[in-house]
Structure 1
Amino acid sequence: MSLKALGYIGANAVNLKEWKDYACDIFGAQIIAETPDQLKLRLDDKHHRMSIHKADAPGARHFGWDAGSREGLAGVVSLLKQRGCELREGTAAECEDRQVMGLVHVRDPSGNALEIFYGQKSGYPFQPARPMSGFRIGDLGMGHVVFMTPALDEMLDFYGALGFRMSDYIVMRAFGNVKAHFLHCNQRHHSLAMVPGPHSAFHHMMLEVNSLDDVGSAYDLVNARKINVTQTFGKHTNDHMLSFYSQTPSGFELEYGCNGRTIDDDATWNIVEYDSISYWGHIGAINAAN
């Protein structure tokens, strides 16, 4: 059984207003629900793609992966049970909150909280909070996520069993030549990447938009508002994304970009090892020594 796409992300934040200003005023997300305890953000025709929860400490909360159908979810559940994973079925209240038909909870070998779901509700109009061309999502899913992990082999085995295929590698010279692994589950160049490290951590999520103008205008806004730009505007070697990174109010980073390449045919795709992260730009802590 294969997962189909990254469907949604949940995050914790101390200050929800900071997230509202960050996500809407700068990046164009639409607020579709707001309470003292939670924000829900729409990016396309799905009910919502992100939920931000009021918490005492910031950080990632959960990652929702689409199994495609009821049968697809049942197949993933059977596979995970055979592998000895501890599963918990999502409650009716959780399914209502995520606006899905069904879900199960499981943790990957690094402890990241995953929600495998099906039936994400759709057909809603997207009205961006600022003028923009919209997000490139559809069958590609909402973007990608990047984990640091001390259990790389176990993570590769886990996600490989769920249908992820290798896209390519980047040797990160700034971190002692550690090798970042990039994996795909649909035509998006990668929906998941993993970097070996001394502890488990969520590094960043990526949102792709339809226009370079959207990226440029957001880049001007983060600089004007003095938001921490963790990597400057640049072009990646492997997926060719034109993007920049900034720090979210949840502590992890957000990559915002456009023009990412796709993998249209696994049979003809060549897995390449790159020796630098970017052709140009992306100056920041992650590759300052390149």
Structure 2
Amino acid sequence: MTPYDTASVFGAVRLGHLVVETERFADWRRFGTDAIGMHHDDLGTGLLRFRLDDHACRFLLRRGPAEDVVAVGWHVDDHTAFERIEARVRAHGVPVTEGDAEEAHLRGVERLLRFPGPKGITQEICTTPVLSPEPLRMLASGWVTGDAGMGHVALTSARPALTRGYFHTVFDARLTDSIEETISGVRLRIRFLRVNERHHTIAVAAVRGLPVDPVRTRVQHLNIQAASLDDLARSYERVHELGFDMALSVGQHTNDKELSYYARTPSGFEWEVGWNPLVVDERTWEPSTHRGISVWGHTPVGRTIIDTLDQFRLGARSLLSPERTVPALGGGPLPDA
């Protein structure tokens, strides 16, 4: 008999916060505040937070060498769903650690548990986000968060079935759709997973037929959703004017129809600002496969042949460094689109 409650937690989970480890605080402050347009709070030496809404924390930056996302925080509706997730993780023999009061405070939550996740990214489940009474001071008019969470995270993986299975086992993630794309002769397949009505909260990309992960960082990109087209356009202008690297120009995706651009963060992974993606209707939605990432746009900006060679060099290195996974929670792969 399964030693935990098998009731689904789909719809009771949303992306709540991210933890980034970096030494580049001055660059990150300019990037997040002056370019993207978020609210920031300096918390003292080696700690910085960004806000998008009334939650006290959406992005926690802490001092360290990783230059990467090191933890993903999931806000859970209630204590019943929280304990259901905890029980299923423990039942698979995966260690769970309780965050202390200071760690919960820094993330702006009242209760925090953490456990290992794909690519070595710690997964954190939280209840009862703390709301800040301090008015937002930011250049954007607002960001779309709410019941669907604050955006999405995209990973590349040499073991995509295990990664997808992990999010299905832990959060009852569902396959929304897939995209097949060929870039410089390399065939990619990207699968998009949802945990609520947001089109996707996790994207998992793999090089078809090759056990290669061509991206240095654990996260390839993260996404936040602008409240208006004007907010997207103005932040795009600011990224250029302040001299930050642009990865992809403005374009529209084939699957969720989101209008977006991709900037390169001071830590090296990409930051997508999007607007107006479609919302999934669970009564009618059927997974499908799209050919190509974009309907139009999303043109690489400033990319040279040297950059491309560096990517393949990193990919070759990944063959020597096995990807960190959590096989106990990998389960079976979700059905393909």
TM-score, length-scaled by structure 1 = 0.92
1:73 aligns with 2:82: yes
Aligned-partner residue type, residue 276 of structure 2: N
Bigger Cα Rg:
2
- SS of the residue 2:165 aligns to: helix
Distance 1:28 1:246 in 2: 13
Distance 1:63 1:144 in 2: 10
| 8 Å contact from structure 1 (residues 168, 182) kept in 2 | yes
Match of 1:236 among 245, 253, 278: 253
Aligned to 2:205: 195
- Report which stretch shifted further, 64-73 or 234-243: 64-73
Match of 1:273 among 246, 269, 289: 289
Match of 1:180 among 190, 207, 215: 190
How is 1:1-290 mapped onto 2 (pairs within 5 angstroms)? 1-2=8-9, 4-122=13-131, 124-130=133-139, 132-161=140-169, 162-174=171-183, 176-197=186-207, 198-199=212-213, 201-263=218-280, 265-284=281-300
Q: Measure how far apart 1:84 and its partner are.
A: 2.1
| 8 Å contact from structure 2 (residues 60, 106) kept in 1 | no
Distance 2:222 2:135 in 1: 21
| 8 Å contact from structure 1 (residues 38, 54) kept in 2 | yes
Percent sequence identity is: 27
Instruction: For residues 224-255 of structure 1, give each alpha carbon's deviation from its aligned partner in whole angstroms, at most 9, with x where no partner exists.
Output: 22211001110011111111001111221100
Aligned-partner residue type, residue 253 of structure 1: E
Instruction: For residues 165-219 of structure 1, give each alpha carbon's deviation from its aligned partner in whole angstroms, at most 9, with x where no partner exists.
Output: 1110000211632210001111111111101252483101001011111111111
Which consecutive unaligned segments of at least 5 residues does structure 2 have?
A: 1-7, 305-337
| 8 Å contact from structure 2 (residues 252, 295) kept in 1 | yes
Aligned-partner residue type, residue 108 of structure 1: G
Q: Measure how far apart 1:271 and its partner are.
A: 1.1
The CA RMSD over aligned residues, in Å, is 1.9
Distance 1:156 1:139 in 2: 22
Aligned-partner residue type, residue 291 of structure 2: D
Would you say how many aligned residue pairs link Structure 1 and Structure 2? 285
